[in-house]
Chains A and B, each alone.
Chain A
């Protein structure tokens, strides 16, 4: 067991995957000598060579398209998209090729490509550097989408993503890169399932579902709520496509209330999918309509306003209050017990 930052944990996971499988190669902009703009690949080109850690010309579609060709040839490319908002030039190759080639070729061609995407806001960046585009990809059949929330998962799940024969988008919460945590580097990636959601805080009154950067915020919300006599069960989804609905469903059957929070915009987002699926699966157990606490349906705002956009502890607790029909921002203080 050792203590390391979130970013260092990804680096350690990449290193181990490259040590174990010579077909694992890294591709991306500035990932070689520089080690990436976030230093996630720091030292890897020096240790594994420029033929395994490729500094790519600045063309995301081409990085993805050449990764497809590498996968055809039997490699397991790990592509770094420098920032979330830069992924769109690669969207065609991801959606039309990476996601569909296995289906198109009736299983003959596998696409074991891992696409690392630093995502989410909160770092004061200009436009295109703080987005949460995960729903575009969870809506695309053929892709798996995961998001990590702590150093141990970051370490283990990057290896699981690379080992998967299906293409995996690996969303890294960039504002948590410097968070430290305990990492057991001896853990066998095969001993756990990257598709499983984790209950990170046990509770009985409300199920709070989230992933990636908002998991620590949700845990803080649960601590704050407990001071107020409210018991929140926090679920870290970890896998966004597919979602481990069995775990969410089991929790909601117990609590009867569901709150979903994510940084991405609300409409057509993952919160909508989770609310609909859980309503379908356990309608009779719900005491209140599912509540979404999300970013607004706006382009990601300039940095001085970003904390109005991003769900924080208080907005999450307000959503919890709505689910519990306690006084909240929509009901006002006088309407306790009123249905919303």
Chain B
């Protein structure tokens, strides 16, 4: 690799050619403050916070975008640099609301942190905020454009990573705002509610619809039997929200914490993930045998579901009819569990802890009431659970490890790996292989489908019958597979798609920051936890076996169809078609 020599603050460093000044400085152990910069996204150079002095340059340069050249001499900490950075942040603050104390991002705001770090101690400029109303039109997300600092990270992630493009800069100058097309609200356009925008927003301009108050109210209601389910990805991310290092597996502490919050039963979405494998695995086998629509595509990810409904409505028959594990759980909690525990389902309140904002959208879909009630009553993201735990004063890392409750808390490693991209596929293969061949798998690890590569492929030999599968995560990758299907070039039988990069561990409701590096650590934690599980195949889950024996009958049976399967809605790409083009 060709390298160049640069001098930064008097220190000489050898860095790869074409490195940015920012990367070179970091290699030299020198931290340059940034704001619009995000290590996983394209460089924008919008905010001018990372300016540095380059000898021979008349003006200050943005370290995030300026490549180094051989012999370059850079000063990152001169009086001129400090002054410019501070003024730039002061200008950002001059039209930023000053309600930091009650802001959702208070103490977790990149702008606030910078203002402190750069020594902004007075607001010298006249204060004028763009008067824009909050957009609360979607069930999952809140937009507060008055707080927006126009860094465009959300635009980038929505367009480049997800290929959705719900938001874009509108107007110019002081009137610039990041908004959907046509001056309408987010609920009127083809936004999939994935919340990746809320993960990258440096301030409180986009965040999750808050369900914590309704959950506190349910917990305080003596007539309510409040049960909670935890998605696979939460156990490897709630620790971060509570101050631990990324990649910590905190299943036992999380269960203990939920009990201390006052939940009557602590159950596990991993249980219904195992159940999903039973239903979806048999659905795949049925489609393979009877010539159903192939490739069959997974249906666990509600952002993905909304995406295909908007952008590829003609491909809906490819989706598995299985509800997501969250919704299967809700439907069973208010039927099977209610019956077993002798509790009136009207008094059962189901809370989900999800890494996902789109789950808030999913639970209020009109078809998700097969139990006779809303199957799931409230969805808390990892961030919201963190807020509740902090409010309650629970010392998370000091908690003892506790076990989930029976019966909906019993699960296998196969259910657990749903949290990582490729996990549903791997879990399905573990079961389908053994069901079809009647043989025990020598190795349970289908490593081809693991990891952060955008699209992964594998082929499995089911006793002479070859099944080709593909896995995509991030909707930009999903789009590529959908286009292949449309062109007739997708020779797969089964496809797993997760809306968010990395799968659920990288969901829009996860701790901030969620970078590629952190995603990988959470993925590693998922597979570490799987390897430590006594049972690692869904069909071996004893609680699922009992459920079929006592209640459902058999996979794809009548009761399953009623409670565990669903249908989809064709949606349009644009809010309205004007009469004339």
Question: Do these two chains interact?
Answer: no
Question: Measuring CB to CB, which residues of chain A are less than 8 angstroms from any residue of chain B?
Answer: none
